[in-house]
Structure 1
Amino acid sequence: MQQSDLSNCDQMHVFEAGNRAAERGTRMVMWITAAMMVAEIFAGWWFNSMALLADGWHMSSHAVAIGLSAFAYAAARRYARDPRFAFGTWKIEVLGGFVSALFLVVVAVLMVVGSVERLLSPLPIHYREAMIVAAIGLVVNIVCAFILERARGPHEHDDHGGGHHHDLNLKAAYVHVVTDAATSVLAIVALAGGWLYGWAWLDPVMGIAGALLVAVWAKNLIKETGKVLLDREMDHPVVDEIRAAVETGPDAGNTRIVDLHVWRVGKRAYSCALGILTHDRSLTPDRVRERLASHDEIVHSTIEIQQGS
């Protein structure tokens, strides 16, 4: 059995523990969002707008998530050379996204409870003032999305999944901004309907709609981060690539993978452990590694070869 090893310098290069541009962008967005969050929650309470309160509370979850993202970048950069982290510190970012998603679930429940209370016991709403605050919140979200889009850079394109984020941490921050912009739009629509047509019920209904939007996003984030944290990667295209690289070629039919484990260790990095049964006496771990070399996302491999009779 033979395996490839990564030095600390290799880990720094492969796993990109500290994306400086993304770190600066997320920190800037965190402070902008925190300020707007306080303004929206206070305005929603003062003007009796449940939709505005819902938008503010969702923005609070957004602020926490962006804060976790910024912390994750800083921690990953700080401990990138720490040998206690066998495959680097990338999963700090993923863990932050998972915790953020759990927090979102709690916020969604509170938003539903508050909206139902307003449906049963409506209060007068200062529509014009609340709409101004909601519109400012929407502008802030657009600005934040632009900041994160610039921080993302041209390299963040997923060749396998068709998406645009290798960086799961940055993706979480970006989707938070987009989702929060959507709840701002819902708040504006609800307040406009109440102001122009007297549909006071529309405000708490939009609050419930915003809560459902938060819950859906939280579910997707839990699923995506949980998949990484639990190493559920055996349905990823890289698995088929490994099988094709090993089982095809001049010795096709004489070599097959009898045991394969693949797990993600970085934004664009995977580790694998292979058990190979072959009738080719000349097949060695180095030759297998040469076949895998064309897939640069495979950064660590453990290879065991059994000779068939």
Structure 2
Amino acid sequence: MPAHDLSRWTHDHAFHAGNPAAERGTRAVMWITAVMMVVEIAAGWWYNSMALLADGWHMSSHAVAIGLSAFAYAAARRHAGDARFAFGPWKIEVLGGYTSAIFLLGVVVMMVVGSVERLMSPQPIHYVEAMIIAAVGLAVNVVCAVILGNAHHDHGGHEHHGHADHHHHDLNLKSAYVHVLADAATSVLAIIALAGGWLYGWSWLDPVMGIVGAGLVALWAKKLLTETGKVLLDREMDHPVVEEVRRAIESGAGRGNVDITDLHVWRVGKQSYACAISLVTHDTGLTPARVREWLSEHEEIAHTTIEIHVCTNC
């Protein structure tokens, strides 16, 4: 029996092409953050500023978390052709983002504990020197945000193909960006607290701002955990793409001619979804190829498994 050419019926299951710009950007930001972390922790200890120390320790976790994001990109790229990953290794990047969010929550605990201790036991602060270091830290965060923002745009983050922007989020890059924003926010709060203490003698403002910053970081961490957790657990059946699949089936077959008895949609790449669908119809000529034609207008549906039950007497 001659061998069959199966190439037209097979395809690559690595649906995410990677993000080399983001990988380079996160690696650069990791080293910048690590250097600034050492400077802020040393200055916070030397000048006795809890806000500055909190910012420095906060930055230390960011250096680790952003490094984890860079590692996730490298691991996903290295395993791109590994057949053991059923739908490619893209979720390594999402897992990196999820882990980064957990690091953020750890920072929140550190910031709150340190600030409460300083409220209960106030210490003298070298305000001017600490403000200078905090301002430098803020400038570094702005530079890092620009680097990561450019990485997003370089990878084509502006393309939407007519769909909502959240279809295109690189959650690993977003986690690194959130870490940088959190750093910037705590730097701003540290500057405000130090200025208040220097100008008005409000020494209590320094630890209070540490607590306020912790609350802000906790909110960002919670949102990031929710977004990445949904992808990792495949909890996306409320996503707009699910309704788009239903409408495409109804539009192609005509309302009432085909019933969807089972539908599963889950994300397999930053902009790609897999779909498993079971249909019941009276149309004996309906084929999976026709159903794929109905779905073809939705480019984000990268993989489909279609089961058709023909019911002639029901």
What TM-score comes out, normalization by structure 2 length?
A: 0.92
Contact 1:11–1:88 (Cα < 8 Å) also in 2: yes
Counterpart amino acid of residue 133 in structure 1: I
Correspondence for 1:16: 17
Cα distance between partner residues in 2 of 1:5 and 1:173: 38
Correspondence for 1:88: 88
**Cα distance, 1:40 vs. partner?**
0.8
Pairing 1:101-180 to 2, within 5 Å after superposition: 101-153=101-153, 155-157=156-158, 160-163=163-166, 165-180=168-183
Give the stretch that moved more between structures: 242-251 or 157-166.
157-166
* Partner SS state of residue 107, structure 2: helix
Cα distance between partner residues in 2 of 1:212 and 1:301: 43
Give the stretch that moved more between structures: 222-231 or 251-260.
251-260
Cα distance between partner residues in 2 of 1:269 and 1:113: 42
Counterpart amino acid of residue 16 in structure 1: A
Cα distance between partner residues in 2 of 1:32 and 1:164: 30
2:289 to 286, 294, 306: 286
Q: CA RMSD in A?
A: 1.6
Q: 1:229 to 1:77 in 2, by over 3 A?
A: same
* Partner SS state of residue 306, structure 1: strand
Matched, 1:267 2:270: yes
Counterpart amino acid of residue 201 in structure 2: G
Matched, 1:305 2:298: no
Contact 1:263–1:271 (Cα < 8 Å) also in 2: yes
Correspondence for 2:199: 196
**Cα distance, 1:160 vs. partner?**
3.7
What TM-score comes out, normalization by structure 1 length?
A: 0.93
Correspondence for 1:239: 242
Q: 1:5 to 1:150 in 2, by over 3 A?
A: farther
Contact 2:102–2:225 (Cα < 8 Å) also in 1: yes
Cα distance between partner residues in 1 of 2:287 and 2:166: 36
Contact 2:54–2:210 (Cα < 8 Å) also in 1: yes
Give the stretch that moved more between structures: 139-148 or 158-167.
158-167
Q: 1:279 to 1:272 in 2, by over 3 A?
A: same
Cα distance between partner residues in 2 of 1:34 and 1:5: 49
Gapped regions of structure 1 (runs ≥ 5): none
Query: Higher relative contact order by CA 8 Å / sep ≥ 6: 1 or 2?
Result: 1
Cα distance between partner residues in 2 of 1:295 and 1:103: 36
Correspondence for 2:38: 38
Residue correspondences, number: 302
**Cα distance, 1:251 vs. partner?**
3.0
Give the stretch that moved more between structures: 156-165 or 47-56.
156-165
Q: 1:224 to 1:250 in 2, by over 3 A?
A: closer
* Partner SS state of residue 270, structure 1: strand
Paired-residue identity, %: 71
Counterpart amino acid of residue 32 in structure 1: I
**Cα distance, 1:252 vs. partner?**
2.1
Give the stretch that moved more between structures: 160-169 or 242-251.
160-169
Q: 1:221 to 1:30 in 2, by over 3 A?
A: same
Matched, 1:184 2:187: yes
Cα distance between partner residues in 2 of 1:268 and 1:108: 32
* Partner SS state of residue 249, structure 1: helix
Counterpart amino acid of residue 112 in structure 1: V
Contact 1:260–1:274 (Cα < 8 Å) also in 2: yes
Runs of 4+ more than 6 Å apart: none
